Structure 1
Amino acid sequence: MARQISYSAFISYRHCPPDSQIAERLQRKLENFRLPKEVAAKVGKSRLRRVFRDETELSVAEDLSEVINTALRNSDYLIAICSPRYLESVWCRKEIETFLKIRDRKHILLVLAEGEPETSFPEILMYDEVFKEGPDGQKVMVRRPREPLAADCRGENKRERHANVDKAVIKLAAAMLGLKYDDLEQRYKKAVIRRAQKRILTVFSVMALIIALCVVFLVMIARQNEIIRQRYADTIAATSDNLLRDGKRMDALYAARLGLPDSNTGNYSENAVRALTNALGVYDPPNTFACDGDIRIPSSFMNNLYVSPSGKYFSVMGLNSNRYVLEAATGEVVSCWEEDGISDFSFDGDKGFVYQRTDETYKYFDLTTLEETDLGFREAYTECDANGEGYVFFTNDGAYVYKGTECVWSLDYAHEGFSYAERLNPIVVFVPGTDEVWLIIIDCDKMKTVAYIVDKQTGGSDRMVLTEDSQMLTCSTDGKTIAWRYYDENLNYKYRVLDIETGEVKICNVELDDIYDIGVRGDDIVFIGQEIVYLFNRDLVFQKKINVKSYIQRFITDAEMILVDNYGGCYRINNGDYEYLEPNTTEDVFSWEKTFTNGTLFVCEPGSTHVYTYTFRQSDYLTRYFGEYEEFGHSGLGDTDVNRFRDLVMEKETEFTMEDVYMVTLCTNADAGIIQLWDEELCIYDSVTGERLKTIYSTEGTLNGFYYDEEDGYYYISTWDTEVFDVNFRYIYSIKGCIIQGVDRVTGDPVVTEINADPDVGDKVMYLVHPVTYDKLISIADEMLKGYEPDERVSERYGI
């Protein structure tokens, strides 16, 4: 009798793609799946046994029915590759029925290859047969619904399906070995990382061994390994910096973390720590915003970047003349069509969007049902509510306010006595936080401006004549106040503000230059010029003049008014004042197309295949400070102790002379001192022995602070930045653009002052530093990276 083979699993599937492709990859992955050592010791095996799949186990001449029945009897589990086609196969149903005669339903595992569970899973596996006592006391068999263990391997293409199969292997292996999935997944990932690290270390160990054999000193092996590890960490730190520069914050964090040990052994790459700190942004000042991610788009960007109010969706026009709508979180394409370049596009909140294919009428696409509705317009353009739902159509005949696919209000230009459409300048303002939409019709021929205030929910409206003897040029309103620019009879620019509730009109008597836009929100009115912004209150009382950088784009929500210029300056306007927000990026990014929504700035460069997102950063470890602090005293040349320290050092120093010395300072609460050279190099010494402890080459600016935090064991050294070191002068992190000023009288935590604050603000901007240990940095990074891995494109391009 031929020896019978036992199998860990029997794969049941239809012989058609993608079922057969998934079955083939699943067999190979399961048979090659190796358990982590600690798990293998626990279960008593290091891998699964063979997995039966007919194409690899059967020969042409064999009795297929008998061989399959034997394999089913000798298999611990049956794995069914489910799809709508699977249910049509008599052979597949028979395999399940035969297996259920041998083992219970718990030994059947499902893999979803295509379709939905309700149309793909065999009905026989969706229940258990149990005995239950009936009303007459007799035992009767009933079906109890059950949810079988299933792995989802569906995908849009072969690559996605293969990736999902690789994930499913761990889930299936855990079930077959009686292990918890989460536990096996975490241990397996750690084992994979360990194997990768071992392979890298093996290569470097071989290199170190060759060097050691050449110099015949055993001690050189360990030293060379350390050099290699440090170089690897430094290299991965440079990669992290490049990723952060390119807007890939999570990938930058992932790369930096690869180069650092889990705990502070005192022997880590300072460059990797620096990269990790920068990627985490733990000491980014509260008045900055930074790139937190980028979204890859299918085609090079041409123009027309639109974002839905919540930031969930965005749309771009590609150089291939296709318009794309994508999910911001995943970059997945929701819809795509060819557009002629002159058609308009509008989001209707997150419910849907309005669009026009080439040579077709405008359609409404419902993002929930994925159905489209013909709106009937052909030659028209649209404006949408950037903060909510609703949109407006403008045609040659009039204007139409829509809610979803329903027109709730319309305006006939001819019926209202307006000139023909080419002589009208319509302006739409959706009032943030309300259902009001203002349609302001400027009739250039009749020198008349009429506002229609429409409730976009009910369709109710009011009519208000704003001007009858002057030509309005631009305006803005928040529903309570309206401000506009117009020509007077001498063709001079003038500015008016109307209190809508009282009807009172005020005229601006301040001469304003080159105004091209106006913003109104609450008590704030801004008049925006080419390189200047004038800030007034709603009574037209001048508040402040803001010098800006070139062209300004404004964004108004119910919470704030944000102004962004072309070179990265960002201004948050509130209650007659403003806060300047410094971007943590290169300036040229903000000359690209951009839009601000839900606290996030979306930007994209023409020709790029990425949309970048920027958010305001609020660190828990560097907070605005308004308390009382003890200011540090400064010692320098001329001080007796400083001169003694300098003479002690110069007796031993051979690398420079007194002519090279620019500044000398002592740490007042520790036995350490610093000599700064004219080339800005910092040399740190033990002030008692004169021994050099550390040399810092990468500083910029004059040394102006040296402090030791005894409680946390950190040294703070300030030039143009404040660099923080541990007790052995190993780098921990940097506080950019700040110098140390003193310590808080209550907590003893360091206080720093921002040196690059907005020059228009007179008071110093101060922050309280909440020290973070190395182990805390690692903990924060690991929490953020939980389960994260870079995608294949990033890994291949940056080598991580």
Structure 2
Amino acid sequence: MININKITCLGEKTVEEKNYRYDAFISYRHGELDDFVAAKLHKKLETYSLPRHIAKQIGRKKLNRVFRDREELMSSSSLSQELEEALCDSKYLILIGSSRTSQSPWVMKEITTFKALNGPERILLLIIEGKVEEVIPDILRVHIRTYEENGELVTVEEKVEPLATDIRGANKKEVERKLEEEILRLIAPIAGCRYDDLKQRHKERRKKKLMGLALGCALLLGGFGAFNAWRVWQIGVQMREKLATQSRALADQSLRLLEKGDRMKAILVGKEALPKSLATPEKPIMDEALYALSEALYVYKYDFKLVPEKTLDYSRPLYFSKLSPKGKWAATLSEEGYIEIWDLETGELKSVVKKGNSYLRMDSFEFIDDKHYILSDEEGLKLTEVATNQLSWQIAGESYNKFYLSPDKKQILVVGDTVRLYDAEKQQAIGELVGLDIDSYREMQVTWNQDMSVLAIGQDGKVHIWDLINKRWLTTFESKYKILSGLVFIDERSLAVSSNDEYKDEMEYFYGNGRGNLSYMHIGVNGAEEVWQLDSSESMIEMLRVNPENPQQLVMTKGNVLETVDVTVGKVQYSLAQSSTIMNYCLLGNHLALCGMRDGSVRALMLDVGGLYESASFNHSAGITDLNYAGGRIVITTGEDKKGYIYKDMSGSPKATLEGFEGSMEQGAYSKDGKWAYTISNQGDMAYIWHMDKQALVTSIPMEEYAGKAGFLEDNQSIYIFSARKGIEVWGLDGTFKEAFSNELAEEIYYKAPYFYLVSDTEVQIVKEDNLELYKTIETVDAVSLSIIDEGRFLTLDKAGQLSLVDIQTTKGQVLKEEGVLNCIANKDTIAVCLEDNSVELIDLKTGKITDVLKNDGLALSYFVFDEESKTLWLGYEDTTVWYYSLETKMREQLKENSPSPMTGIHFYKEENRMAITTEQNELLVYNLQNQKRLGYLKAIIAVNDKCDEFIRGDYEKLYVVPFYTAEMLVEEAQKQLVGRTLTEQEKEQYFIQE
């Protein structure tokens, strides 16, 4: 075993003097993603050519060799001789970090060995998967340093936070793209140059290459202009290819910008990838550009979803924010008293209200509308226009006083040495509230009732109620505890009050521990009367609010818990525990509360059912200090990374919303002509028929038994509904019951005109479509599935894996496979059989001979089907790969990208070269059938029409009709969202965009 404390390399040479054989040693735990990244990284490092300026500085054009081991030693924790030498001979160690890294003793030994040789400074960390705190091994978080002090050797343990390059992604392709983008961060220290220099030189080199290509094309055009038409055509082809390459590059850049959270710039760059005029395009319309623009525009996202839009770059930690009512402006406050106003549409700083004034708090500032704000500073109370920064009015003598705006923004309560009420529109004093023992330096709560007739002010355990119509004091009552944390009116005379006991120490306050109380009070002619109260014995109650969509529901926080209370009975409805302390939450509508946590997580909670709404929940990179919502935008402030983050509600605008039903939908389909559709409820107890031209409900059909399967008949005038152990029902599209066929044994149904096939353990019943009369009964043994070939033949598969070919006329069966068959499909000429080893045999129906065997390393097959012309077999595997096999050429190819989850269906519309793949997670991926380029990605799809240009999306208790967006529709939507914004000349130069 190697002794770490005694490692020496190349005699007495120091690290700086040594000539290394390897520039880097790649250390990683062997696994699918780890191996993939290691191989890509190794190739990129060894093939990377340094920019000429950098190469001249360091005296070499390329990096030295990079060491990557190919096997992991499983039986021993000691390093092999070869790896020992490689570690000694490596200048840097690159650790590929994932959640599995720390589990490998082999990798830990490599880190320990290299750290003892060169210290932690030469270890570069590349994070590919998992949470950061799980990825970084403990050995890299601690550095032991020994030094001499007063003649004695002192050893200290220092905590360090290693720098890391993050390339985590949703799949391999995304990880590889991020590696390509961030590779320079690893190359710079290895090459001994600054990252910024390397990045700039790299950009310059790319720009020169593109300009050289453009110049070369221009020279070709000029030099061969006098030649024949074939030359001109050839140059045109080259130019079109160049323009196509440029469009693909812009589309890729658009997707990268979207990943980084700059959605508006992603739209601008994605739009530049398309021709200026779609009617007379000056460059090809690339599928990559269409897909990138559809993603940036979020045209296929119809659920409530918050997406990063812009970042507010700040030089100081941010602690609070306030938004104007329609989300046009945001004001942020730093710890040093800086209040700054930001334009949320552009992400740019509009103005600095105050600089470094420690007297300022967020209760010194308020937007009165989207044009004005009120500020209380040393000059008094001022109303200022946001756009021009011009003073509209000022009330002198109210310096640095707290003020509170009424909900209608018409009244201002100012608290200083006295308590005064002002008319905000007339800037006149309404009156002074005398007799109040209020300390303006202590926390207080203020609220108005809905018609602005009653005002409540609370502080130090006392709540004062004022009649604003008659300008008189009504009553004062005491809360259970001294610290008032919330006051809200439920109706004109009912008030909810939350109070907390004084906390013992700062830690108790930090975590929200302690005791709290919620009381419901009625204000009558004889004073305040308690209706009910709730005690909290372990947590303080904060952020008390009324759900505007349900005025009988209170919402409040208890440390890391969001609770809802039914006012009518005084009981907790839902108690929703979160991962960390809730710093703030917003009520978004649709019964949603969005919570920002101290640990950086953001969770959307459904107040009507008490659950998590996942599509609007995400994890933020830094701890959250505040979160606010207005006008479809969320602003998150953080204290750690000195940034504010703008998120936008990007729920799309569907073609139509289908209404007139209750509950949610599980399945559905379009008729062949696309004029009709049906959907089945999740409970299987209701079927709905829709007229798709009118986007209207025609009828609903109640089901006595669970509706397991349904479909349109060939004539598009009726639908059939099958219920296991009951049989078939046929209904007209107007909801008229037509016929039924009873079968209490059938577990599955298959339909292909003119017959239905009902499958049970012992028989297959063949029923005529036109009158639902029994045509044939064919005995079987343990049949589990069936595949129809034509009107006269079908295949049956039993539980033992035996495959038989059945002749309908004679009712006789011929055994094709004795056992081992998992699934089968057939067309008129070929049978495709999936075997137990997951290989697929192709059998000629005429001869019974095997014509080919398709193997895929034992991967389980999730779905396979012949296309409509029976020329291609499509196969989807559990690893989400999709393959297609030509029955004519006997060639098999893989789709250029995996589906997000295993394939469950496929639709073709060859007239417009469109193909749509459905998955286990109800996702839909639309492709160009000719080149397999992705055109769109949708979720929660339950039905696809035959043209693949219209879809039905189910979102909880809503149904949407979603169109496929053409190039013209995407450009129109981009213009709507951009609202006249264009790329600057500097931005065009940055992305090599030429007019």
Same fold (TM over 0.5): yes
Instruction: Indicate if the aligned counterparts of 2:498 and 2:518 stay in contact, CA closer than 8 A.
Output: yes
- Per the alignment, do residues 428 and 709 of structure 1 end up closer, same or farther by CA in structure 2, a change over 3 Å counting? farther
2:557 is matched with 528
CA drift of 1:572 comes to 6.8
Instruction: Indicate if the aligned counterparts of 2:555 and 2:564 stay in contact, CA closer than 8 A.
Output: yes
- Per the alignment, do residues 488 and 322 of structure 1 end up closer, same or farther by CA in structure 2, a change over 3 Å counting? closer
Counting only pairs closer than 5 Å after superposition, residues 395-414 of structure 1 correspond to structure 2 as: 395=416, 398=419, 403=424, 405-412=427-434
Tell me if 1:450 matches 2:463: yes
SS in 1 for 2:636: strand
1:236 is matched with 250
Tell me if 1:380 matches 2:394: no
**Distance in 1 (alpha carbons) for counterparts of 2:318 and 2:967:** 44
**Distance in 1 (alpha carbons) for counterparts of 2:883 and 2:220:** 32
2:217 is matched with 205
Tell me if 1:347 matches 2:366: yes
CA drift of 1:275 comes to 1.2
User: What TM-score, normalized by structure 1, do the two folds share?
Assistant: 0.59
CA drift of 1:781 comes to 3.1
- Per the alignment, do residues 617 and 499 of structure 1 end up closer, same or farther by CA in structure 2, a change over 3 Å counting? farther
**Distance in 2 (alpha carbons) for counterparts of 1:372 and 1:495:** 40
1:657 is matched with 855
CA drift of 1:364 comes to 4.3
Q: 2:924 aligns with which of 714, 717, 722?
A: 722
CA root-mean-square deviation: 5.0
2:974 is matched with 781
SS in 1 for 2:326: coil
Greater percentage in helix: 1
- Per the alignment, do residues 487 and 605 of structure 1 end up closer, same or farther by CA in structure 2, a change over 3 Å counting? closer
1:518 is matched with 544
Instruction: Indicate if the aligned counterparts of 1:621 and 1:772 stay in contact, CA closer than 8 A.
Output: no
Instruction: Indicate if the aligned counterparts of 1:621 and 1:769 stay in contact, CA closer than 8 A.
Output: yes
**Distance in 2 (alpha carbons) for counterparts of 1:666 and 1:765:** 31
Instruction: Indicate if the aligned counterparts of 1:515 and 1:527 stay in contact, CA closer than 8 A.
Output: yes
CA drift of 1:250 comes to 3.1
CA drift of 1:283 comes to 0.6
SS in 2 for 1:582: helix
Q: Structure 1, residues 632-659: CA drift from partner, whole Å, max 9, x if none?
A: 99999522437359434999999x8342
**Distance in 1 (alpha carbons) for counterparts of 2:536 and 2:633:** 34
- Per the alignment, do residues 511 and 348 of structure 1 end up closer, same or farther by CA in structure 2, a change over 3 Å counting? same
Q: 2:518 aligns with which of 481, 495, 501?
A: 495
- Per the alignment, do residues 385 and 553 of structure 1 end up closer, same or farther by CA in structure 2, a change over 3 Å counting? farther
Tell me if 1:617 matches 2:651: yes
Q: Structure 1, residues 484-515: CA drift from partner, whole Å, max 9, x if none?
A: 33469999543322355795612338988564
CA drift of 1:236 comes to 0.9
Q: 1:643 aligns with which of 832, 852, 855?
A: 832
**Distance in 1 (alpha carbons) for counterparts of 2:440 and 2:391:** 34
Instruction: Indicate if the aligned counterparts of 1:742 and 1:751 stay in contact, CA closer than 8 A.
Output: yes
CA drift of 1:278 comes to 0.8
Q: 1:478 aligns with which of 464, 486, 489?
A: 489
Greater percentage in strand: 2
Tell me if 1:666 matches 2:864: yes
Instruction: Indicate if the aligned counterparts of 1:535 and 1:576 stay in contact, CA closer than 8 A.
Output: no
1:791 is matched with 984
Q: Structure 1, residues 321-361: CA drift from partner, whole Å, max 9, x if none?
A: 6533455556573664434133133225136433355x655
**Structure 2: runs of 5 or more not aligned:** 1-209, 225-229, 504-513, 670-708, 712-749, 751-784, 788-820, 835-839, 845-849
**Distance in 1 (alpha carbons) for counterparts of 2:833 and 2:254:** 43
1:306 is matched with 322
1:275 is matched with 292
Q: Structure 1, residues 392-432: CA drift from partner, whole Å, max 9, x if none?
A: 333355565562543334334xx34x48666x64112355x
1:700 is matched with 900
- Per the alignment, do residues 532 and 377 of structure 1 end up closer, same or farther by CA in structure 2, a change over 3 Å counting? same
Q: Structure 1, residues 692-720: CA drift from partner, whole Å, max 9, x if none?
A: 47623343332233233689764222345
**Structure 1: runs of 5 or more not aligned:** 1-197, 755-762
- Per the alignment, do residues 361 and 296 of structure 1 end up closer, same or farther by CA in structure 2, a change over 3 Å counting? same
Give, as a single letter, the amino acid of the residue that structure 2 aligns with 1:270: D
**Distance in 2 (alpha carbons) for counterparts of 1:387 and 1:469:** 30
- Per the alignment, do residues 561 and 473 of structure 1 end up closer, same or farther by CA in structure 2, a change over 3 Å counting? farther
Q: Structure 1, residues 557-599: CA drift from partner, whole Å, max 9, x if none?
A: 9997743323564547666767836348763378364321234
Instruction: Indicate if the aligned counterparts of 1:356 and 1:363 stay in contact, CA closer than 8 A.
Output: yes
Tell me if 1:731 matches 2:933: yes
Q: 1:770 aligns with which of 957, 963, 974?
A: 963
SS in 2 for 1:777: helix
CA drift of 1:777 comes to 2.7
SS in 2 for 1:647: strand
Give, as a single letter, the amino acid of the residue that structure 2 aligns with 1:316: T
CA drift of 1:470 comes to 4.6
Instruction: Indicate if the aligned counterparts of 2:401 and 2:440 stay in contact, CA closer than 8 A.
Output: no
2:155 is matched with none
- Per the alignment, do residues 662 and 254 of structure 1 end up closer, same or farther by CA in structure 2, a change over 3 Å counting? same
**Distance in 1 (alpha carbons) for counterparts of 2:482 and 2:423:** 28
- Per the alignment, do residues 337 and 587 of structure 1 end up closer, same or farther by CA in structure 2, a change over 3 Å counting? closer
Give, as a single letter, the amino acid of the residue that structure 2 aligns with 1:452: I
**Distance in 1 (alpha carbons) for counterparts of 2:542 and 2:406:** 21
**Distance in 1 (alpha carbons) for counterparts of 2:385 and 2:218:** 61
**Distance in 1 (alpha carbons) for counterparts of 2:522 and 2:912:** 57
CA drift of 1:235 comes to 1.7
Q: Structure 1, residues 178-226: CA drift from partner, whole Å, max 9, x if none?
A: xxxxxxxxxxxxxxxxxxxx9998447369999x9xxxx9898677656
1:256 is matched with 270
Q: Structure 1, residues 425-481: CA drift from partner, whole Å, max 9, x if none?
A: 4112355x65467443232xxxx42233465xx794653434366545422413514
Instruction: Indicate if the aligned counterparts of 1:571 and 1:580 stay in contact, CA closer than 8 A.
Output: yes
1:27 is matched with none
**Distance in 1 (alpha carbons) for counterparts of 2:336 and 2:563:** 42
SS in 2 for 1:243: helix
**Distance in 2 (alpha carbons) for counterparts of 1:258 and 1:451:** 61
Instruction: Indicate if the aligned counterparts of 1:648 and 1:690 stay in contact, CA closer than 8 A.
Output: no
Give, as a single letter, the amino acid of the residue that structure 1 aligns with 2:521: L
SS in 2 for 1:790: coil
Q: 1:546 aligns with which of 564, 576, 583?
A: 576
**Distance in 2 (alpha carbons) for counterparts of 1:528 and 1:384:** 23
- Per the alignment, do residues 715 and 771 of structure 1 end up closer, same or farther by CA in structure 2, a change over 3 Å counting? same
**Distance in 2 (alpha carbons) for counterparts of 1:436 and 1:279:** 48
Q: Structure 1, residues 599-624: CA drift from partner, whole Å, max 9, x if none?
A: 43233455657662523523315968
CA drift of 1:232 comes to 1.9
**Distance in 2 (alpha carbons) for counterparts of 1:777 and 1:200:** 33
**Distance in 2 (alpha carbons) for counterparts of 1:341 and 1:713:** 65
Number of corresponding residues = 575
Instruction: Indicate if the aligned counterparts of 2:379 and 2:397 stay in contact, CA closer than 8 A.
Output: no
CA drift of 1:362 comes to 5.0
Tell me if 1:467 matches 2:478: yes
Give, as a single letter, the amino acid of the residue that structure 2 aligns with 1:355: L
Give, as a single letter, the amino acid of the residue that structure 2 aligns with 1:288: K
Q: Structure 1, residues 277-322: CA drift from partner, whole Å, max 9, x if none?
A: 111111113221334556788x667444222223344333479965
**Distance in 2 (alpha carbons) for counterparts of 1:319 and 1:515:** 25
